[in-house]
Amino acid sequence: MADLSYLDAVILGVVEGLTEYLPVSSTGHLTITEKLLGLEVNDPAVTAYTAVIQLGAIAATLLYFFRDIIRFAVAWFRGLGSAAARTDPDYGLAWAVVIGSIPVGIVGFLARDLISGPLRSLWVVAVALLVWSVAMVVAERIYARYEARGTLRDEHSVRPVDGLVIGLVQCLSLIPGVSRSGATISAGIARGIDRVTATRLSFFLAIPALTAAGLFQAVQERHGLSALGVGPVLVGVVVAFVVAYATIAWLLRFVANHTLLPFVWYRVALGLVLVGVLAGGVISAT
């Protein structure tokens, strides 16, 4: 059983808060950080801790978008009982979030042993960082064509089919190193949705996906988490909440005027460094 100090908890909370919504892979960064801290990345309690501190990031999302979430929920319930209310664009966006959340829930549950086991390897993280960077570049090029034609879509034109496609792509983020936000934002912009809307949609899709994962892991590994210590777990969640809230605000401002390419170059650099240290035997993959 791994020992988790309060310093470890703070460091992991900061890493989670910074990387959960940036398209750089929070799971990949947490796995690397855990390895550097001397924690056993395959320890079930550590794996559960990685999922549980995501609840801090989710709480930040709920607070930051509270009014939007209430608006979408009201539109969805009204639309269920009224044909006229179904013309509200918020009704379509709400359905996009609902439908888009289903695939990752099913795949995540069925592949849970693979995700928490063999995929918890730094080799997987390194390869995924590099490979998905290519996908992000392709998405940006497709987006540029929509932009040049003046056919970008905003939040009012998001449809349930957009949620389905983005939700299916989100399943790839179960591979450490891909990045859930990197997958969902890339899928959104590749469908011609403007960057800010695609990023906001990524946040909304994160709520059910990460909440389910965090709660499921907490229940499954409750004894291991107790052994790690209630204090460090709570500290990690709180730190992740504070840092994630600031990160959300920053990312929305950033994507309003920038492409995803700076994140791509960071991912490539990190992936190459990781390949180098793994191949050189500086650190082990698990």
Q: Which amino acid is at 161?
A: V
Structural domain includes residue 263: yes
Distance CA 275, CA 269 (A): 10
Distance CA 60, CA 147 (A): 31
For residue 125, what are the CA distances in angstroms to 30, 32, 180? Answer: 10, 9, 13
Residue 270, pLDDT above cutoff 60:
yes
Burial class (CB in 10 A: 0-12, 13-18, 19+), 70: exposed
For residue 176, what are the CA distances in angstroms to 25, 54, 187, 197, 232? Answer: 7, 14, 18, 25, 23
Of 20-34, 157-171, 208-222, least confident by mean pLDDT is: 208-222
193 forms beta bridges with 153
Distance CA 74, CA 84 (A): 14
pLDDT at 251: 96
Q: Which amino acid is at 119?
A: L
Structural domain includes residue 49: yes
Region 204-233 average pLDDT = 78
Q: Which residues contact 196 (CB under 8 A, 6 or more apart)?
A: 252, 255, 256
Which DSSP state fits 88? Answer: S
Band (224; pLDDT cuts 50, 70, 90):
low
Say whether pTM exceeds 0.85: yes
Band (2; pLDDT cuts 50, 70, 90):
low
pLDDT at 44: 76
Region 168-188 average pLDDT = 93
Distance CA 130, CA 3 (A): 32
Distance CA 48, CA 237 (A): 12
Residue 217, pLDDT above cutoff 80:
no
- Would you say 199 and 255 are in contact if contact means Cβ atoms under 8 Å apart? yes
Structural domain includes residue 286: no
Region 132-149 average pLDDT = 96
153 forms beta bridges with 193
Structural domain includes residue 284: no
Q: How many domains does the chain have?
A: 1
The 10s digit of each residue's pLDDT in 70-112 is 999 999 999 998 888 888 999 999 999 999 999 998 998 888 8
- Determine which helix (DSSP H) or strand (DSSP E) holds 283, and give its type and residue range: none
Coil, helix or strand for 193?
strand
Structural domain includes residue 1: no
pLDDT at 1: 46
Range of the domain at 256: 6-279
Structural domain includes residue 285: no
Q: Which residues contact 136 (CB under 8 A, 6 or more apart)?
A: 23, 182, 186, 260, 261, 263, 264, 267
For residue 63, what are the CA distances in angstroms to 23, 28, 35, 70, 223? Answer: 21, 26, 32, 11, 30
Of 283 and 170, the one with more pLDDT: 170
Residue 230, pLDDT above cutoff 60:
yes
H-assigned helices in the chain: 6-19, 26-36, 44-52, 54-64, 66-81, 89-110, 112-116, 122-149, 160-170, 180-190, 195-220, 222-228, 230-255, 261-279
Structural domain includes residue 222: yes
The 10s digit of each residue's pLDDT in 195-208 is 999 999 999 998 88
